[in-house]
Structure 1
Amino acid sequence: MEITFLGTSSGVPTRSRNVSSVALRLPQRAEVWLFDCGEGTQHQLLRSDVKVSQLTRIFITHMHGDHIYGLMGLLASCGLAGNAQDIEIYGPPDLSYYLEACAKYSHLKLSHRVRVYGVSPGLLHEDEEFKVSCGLLKHRIPAFGYRIVEKDRPGRFNVERANALGIPSGPIYGQLKRGETVTLPDGRRIRGKELCGETETGRKVIYCTDTVFCEGAVELAQDADVLIHEATFAHQDAQLAFDRLHSTSTMAAQVALAAGVKRLIMTHFSPRYAPGNNLQLEDLLAEAKAIFPNTIMARDFMNYEVPRRLNYEL
Structure 2
Amino acid sequence: MELLFLGTGAGVPAKLRNVSAVALKLLQERGAVWLFDCGEATQHQILHTRLKPRRIEKIFITHLHGDHIYGLPGLLGSRSFQGGKEGVTVYGPKGLKEFITVTLSVSKTHLQYPLNIMEIEEGILFEDKDFIVEAKKLDHGIDSYGYRIQEKERPGPLLVEKLKEQGMMPGPYYRELKEGKKVVLENGSVINGVDYLGDSQKGRVVTILGDTRPCTAALQLAEDADVLVHEATFADGNEEMAWEYYHSTISQAVDIAKKSNAKLLLLTHISSRYTEEDGRQLEAEAKQLFDNCVIASDFLEVKVPLQTE
What TM-score do you get using the length of structure 2 for normalisation? 0.89
Structure 2: give runs of 5+ residues left out of the alignment. Answer: 184-188
Matched-pair contact (CA < 8 Å) for 1:235–1:287: no
| Counterpart position of 2:216 | 215
Matched ranges for 1:107-186 at <5 A: 107-158=108-159, 161=162, 177=178
> In structure 2, which of residues 300, 303, 308 is the aligned counterpart of residue 302 of structure 1?
300
Q: Deviations over 1:232-282 (max 9, x none)?
A: 001111111000010100111011001001100001000111257xxx223
Could you tell me how far apart the structure 2 residues matched to 1:300 and 1:243 are? 27
SS in 1 for 2:4: strand
AA in 2 matched with 1:14: A
Aligned length: 304
Kindly report structure 1 stretches of 4+ aligned residues shifted beyond 4 Å.
162-167, 172-182, 188-194
Deviation at 1:163, TM superposition (A): 7.4
Q: Deviations over 1:37-70 (max 9, x none)?
A: 0000000001112121211111100000000000
Structure 1: give runs of 5+ residues left out of the alignment. Answer: 183-187
Matched-pair contact (CA < 8 Å) for 1:253–1:289: no
SS in 2 for 1:284: helix
SS in 2 for 1:50: coil
Q: Deviations over 1:12-47 (max 9, x none)?
A: 111121000001111213211110000000000011
Q: 1:298 to 1:105 in 2, by over 3 A?
A: same
AA in 2 matched with 1:17: R
Deviation at 1:108, TM superposition (A): 2.1
| Counterpart position of 1:185 | none
Could you tell me how far apart the structure 1 residues matched to 2:282 and 2:152 are? 34
Q: Deviations over 1:70-118 (max 9, x none)?
A: 0000011112222021111111121001111112221223445111111
| Counterpart position of 2:280 | 282
Could you tell me how far apart the structure 1 residues matched to 2:276 and 2:109 are? 41
Could you tell me how far apart the structure 2 residues matched to 1:269 and 1:178 are? 43
| Counterpart position of 1:54 | 55
| Counterpart position of 2:16 | 16
Matched ranges for 1:245-284 at <5 A: 245-275=246-276, 280-284=278-282
Deviation at 1:307, TM superposition (A): 1.5
| Counterpart position of 2:5 | 5
Matched-pair contact (CA < 8 Å) for 2:267–2:296: yes
Could you tell me how far apart the structure 1 residues matched to 2:231 and 2:44 are? 22
Matched-pair contact (CA < 8 Å) for 1:162–1:195: yes
Greater Cα offset, 197-206 or 151-160: 151-160
Matched-pair contact (CA < 8 Å) for 1:222–1:259: yes
Matched-pair contact (CA < 8 Å) for 1:2–1:26: yes
Q: 1:43 to 1:178 in 2, by over 3 A?
A: same
Greater Cα offset, 218-227 or 25-34: 25-34
SS in 2 for 1:235: coil
Q: 1:77 to 1:175 in 2, by over 3 A?
A: closer
Could you tell me how far apart the structure 2 residues matched to 1:44 and 1:281 are? 20
Q: Percent identity?
A: 44
| Counterpart position of 1:96 | 97
Q: 1:178 to 1:30 in 2, by over 3 A?
A: closer
Please provide the CA RMSD for this pair: 2.7
Greater Cα offset, 61-70 or 172-181: 172-181
Matched-pair contact (CA < 8 Å) for 2:85–2:112: no
Could you tell me how far apart the structure 2 residues matched to 1:228 and 1:73 are? 25
